Structure 1
Amino acid sequence: MSGMSNGTGAMLSRREHIGQSIADILTTPIGTRLMRRNYGSYLPQLVDHPATDANRLRLIAATAQAIIKWEPRTRVLRVGVRLNAQGKCQLSIVRRDTDSADTVMSTVNVGGAA
C-alpha cells in the first residue's frame, strides 16, 4: 500500500507515506482539527519550554505517545531531541514499520521560525 504526497500529489512508497504521516501528527497541535480534536501531539506546546533534561524527556514522551496513538503502521524504537537557540526542535526518530524488518530513521522539525 502506498500513499500520496501532501505537497506534490505524487505517489509515495509505504515507508515515505508513514514518514509524512508522522511529520503531520507531530506538527499538528492537539485541538486544532475540527472533526478530530484529539489528533496531533503536544510537541508544539512543549517546544518553547526551557531546554532542561525534564523537558527533553517530555518531548520524547509526547513524540512516542502521538506516534503510538495515531500511526499504527510503525513502532517507535528510539527518539532523539536536539534544540537550538532559535527555538527549533529537531526530532530524530528510529522506527520499524510493521511490514518490514528494517529500521528507518527520519527527522521532524517542530517550532522555531520558518
Structure 2
Amino acid sequence: MALATEHLIDIDRKTGEYVQGWPRIKQSIECILTTRIGVRLMRLWWGSKFVDMQDKPGNEETLMTGMMAAISAINTYEPEFKVSRVSIDAFDSTGDITITVEGVDLIDAQLKRTKTTI
C-alpha cells in the first residue's frame, strides 16, 4: 500500500467550502466523537461510543471508558491521524464534556492538538 503524500479534501460542515489538512482532521475528529454508532443510515457501524458517556456519573470508570472509546474510534476512522493522548478536561453537570486529543498528523508528521467541547 502506498503512503499518501497529500491531505484528503472534504467539505466544511459550516461553510460548505473545501477544507483540507489540519482543519479537515479536526472536523473529522469532532464528527467521529459526536456521532453515535447506529445513527448513520448508510454507515451503521460508523461513529463512537464516546458520546454515550454523557448523562453518566463522572467517576473514574466512566472517564476511562470514554477516553478509550475516543481513542479507538479516532484511530479506526481517521486515516490521517494517530492518537497519542486523550484527556478529559471538564465533565460538568450539564452534560458538556471538554476533551483534548493529541496525536500525529501522518501526512505532515507533526504533533497536533485539538480541544473541543461536546
TM score, norm. by length of structure 2:
0.86
Question: What does residue 51 of structure 2 align with?
Answer: 44
Question: What does residue 5 of structure 1 align with?
Answer: 12
DSSP 3-state at the match of 1:23: helix
| Distance apart, 1:97 and its partner CA | 0.9
Q: Deviations over 1:25-74 (max 9, x none)?
A: 11001000011101111122112110111111001001001101111111
* Letter matched to residue 44 of structure 1: V
Provide the identity percentage: 28
Question: What does residue 106 of structure 2 align with?
Answer: 98
Query: Which of 23, 26, 45 does residue 19 from structure 1 map onto?
Result: 26
* Letter matched to residue 89 of structure 1: I
Question: What does residue 4 of structure 2 align with?
Answer: none
Q: State how far apart, in whole Å, the 1-side matches of 2:55 and 2:93 are.
A: 10
Structure 1, unmatched stretches of 5+, are: none
Question: What does residue 72 of structure 1 align with?
Answer: 79
Aligned alpha-carbon RMSD (Å): 1.2
* Letter matched to residue 79 of structure 2: P
| Distance apart, 1:102 and its partner CA | 1.7
Question: What does residue 94 of structure 2 align with?
Answer: 86
Q: Deviations over 1:65-88 (max 9, x none)?
A: 110111111100110102112111
Number of aligned residue pairs: give it: 110
DSSP 3-state at the match of 2:82: strand
Bigger CA drift: 12-21 or 100-109?
Answer: 100-109
